[in-house]
């Protein structure tokens, strides 16, 4: 499960029906600078360090298998040193 | 879900039957320059910023699980700064 | 779906039974130089530009789900500029 | 299966219910420096060299398919030279 | 399917029960230098060039779907030029 930092909510009006009304967050890999979009069933805030599940596990983690995501936040890390990520 | 920009439609006459008649788009990762082909169930236009699902989620997102894609556009981002991608 | 160029057929006498007698091709990512092996249900020729499905979609695209591949050619691109890949 | 080194346990109070009460470890790829979070059904200690399964195999390896992980430790390597990794 | 070279058998006494008693090999990507662990149902020898299946296909290729691997050797390539890999 990848370790990423929450950057911002994602606003997306036109989406496939499979995404339903799930909350979406933009996450950032601080090491590579790459951003990704993830489903957030946990309720994260900007700046939180989280870890995510990819692939079919992301649908299970979203709480409903029919959500067509490939990345879902699985938990907020209690303590993480930014410089170590 | 990866964040990519729509570049152009893809013309492909010889395809496996599993791809049916879905619309295909060439997407570009602006950071790495890599291009990929995705199924487009949303109806994107050139220049749109989209996010995509990989893997088995791509078949669910395509609206029909039997479509043999591994990448499908899940939504158009309302606002995205190119320089930030 | 990744965009790759067909380089050559692959000769492989000792294979797992799950691969059956499918035709195998060596594909090359022109940007990175990496080569991969894919099942070819389309009938490509050397030099063709193709796009491929990864993961479980590759087994569906192979026409028979029991083929133990993780990469299958899904279509030949009608026109592709090599320098743009 | 990727070869990684165990760095530390991961403390995570807020997690999706799908992760249940599994033990989590931070693993490090010594070559790239990237860290990941994995489920540990084996009982590893800091410094152990392990190999992991990704994707749906990670759920099977966790001992219970409903655990929403995408990375699980599958075994501890008896002997591994750090400099060779 | 990735093209890799067999380096050595892997000795692993402590493993999850899902791995059963399958033979494990350390494979090396000659281009990147990265090593991975794979299930070997073919019977490879050191130095062989092989191609592998990732993901759920790896479990099918292992001959028994319950083996919790994400990488399995699918075949030995009859002829491969090291410098071309």
Q: With an 8 Å Cβ cutoff, are A51 and D37 in contact? A: yes
pLDDT in tens, C7-30: 999 989 899 999 988 999 999 999
pLDDT in tens, B38-70: 999 999 999 999 999 999 999 999 999 999 999
Q: What number is the ipTM of this complex?
A: 0.90
Q: pLDDT 10s digit of each residue in chain E, 85 long?
A: 999 999 999 989 899 999 988 999 999 999 899 999 999 999 999 999 999 999 999 999 999 999 999 999 999 999 887 655 4
Chain C partners of E73 at a C-beta cutoff of 8 Å? 16
Torsion angles phi and psi, residue E71, rounded to 5:
-150, 120
User: How far, CA to CA in Å, does D63 sit from each of A2, A75, D36, E37, E84?
Assistant: 21, 20, 20, 20, 41
**D64, D63, D46: which is closest to D7 by C-alpha?**
D46
**B5, C34, A85: which is closest to D28 by C-alpha?**
A85
Question: Which of E1, E41, E85 lies at the smallest CB-CB distance from C71?
Answer: E1
Q: Longest Cα pair distance anywhere in chain B, in angstroms?
A: 39
Chain C partners of E27 at a C-beta cutoff of 8 Å? none
CATH class label, D2-79: mainly beta
Kindly state the tokens that stand for D74. Answer: 């599958």
Q: With an 8 Å Cβ cutoff, are D76 and E38 in contact? A: no
Mean pLDDT of D11-40: 93
- Chain E: touching chains (3 or more CB pairs < 8 Å): C, D
Domain B2-84 of CATH type 2.40.50.220: yes
Chain C partners of E4 at a C-beta cutoff of 8 Å? none
Chain D partners of A73 at a C-beta cutoff of 8 Å? 16
Q: With an 8 Å Cβ cutoff, are E77 and C12 in contact? A: yes
Whether B25 and B72 have beta carbons less than 8 Å apart is answered as no
> Å from D77 to nearest chain E CA?
5
Query: Using CA atoms, how far apart are residues A68 and A17, in angstroms rounded to an integer?
Result: 9
Q: With an 8 Å Cβ cutoff, are E70 and D58 in contact? A: yes
> Å from E60 to nearest chain C CA?
6
**C52, D68, A16, C55: which is closest to B55 by C-alpha?**
C55
For β-strands E24-28 and E2-9, DSSP reports them as antiparallel
Query: Using CA atoms, how far apart are residues A20 and A15, in angstroms rounded to an integer?
Result: 8
Query: Using CA atoms, how far apart are residues D44 and D24, in angstroms rounded to an integer?
Result: 10
Query: Using CA atoms, how far apart are residues E10 and C60, in angstroms rounded to an integer?
Result: 33
């Amino acid at each position: 499960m990848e370790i990423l930092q929450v950057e911002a909510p994602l606003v997306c009006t036109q989406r496939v029906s499979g995404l339903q009304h799930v909350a979406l967050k933009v996450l950032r890999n601080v090491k590579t600078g790459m951003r990704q979009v993830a489903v957030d069933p946990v309720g994260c805030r900007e700046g939180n360090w989280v870890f995510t599940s990819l692939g079919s596990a992301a649908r299970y983690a979203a709480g409903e298998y029919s959500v067509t995501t490939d990345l879902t936040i699985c938990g907020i890390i209690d303590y993480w040193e930014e410089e170590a990520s």
